[in-house]
Amino acid sequence: MKKTIQAEDATLSYYAFIDDTDFAEIAVRERNSPEPVSLPTEDRFIDSLVTALKWVFLYLPGATTIHLIMIGMALFFFHDVRGFEMVAGTIGAALVAVFMVMLGIGKLTDLRYLKVAGGIFAVGGLASVVYAILATMIPGDFVGFYIRSTLPLTLLSGYLVKWHTDRQVDAEQNGLNP
Domain annotation covers residue 119: yes
pLDDT for the residue 175 = 78
Which of the four pLDDT bands, split at 50, 70 and 90, describes residue 67? Answer: very high
pTM above 0.85, yes or no: no
What's the domain count of the chain?
1
Domain annotation covers residue 53: no
Q: Is 109 exposed, middle or buried (0-12, 13-18, 19+ CB in 10 A)?
A: exposed
* Percent residues over pLDDT 70 in the chain: 72
Domain annotation covers residue 93: yes
Q: Report the C-alpha gap between 93 and 69 in whole angstroms.
A: 8
**Domain encompassing residue 69:** 60-178
Domain annotation covers residue 43: no
Domain annotation covers residue 130: yes
Q: Report pLDDT digits (tens) over 96-148.
A: 999 999 999 988 888 899 999 999 999 999 999 999 889 889 888 888 899 99
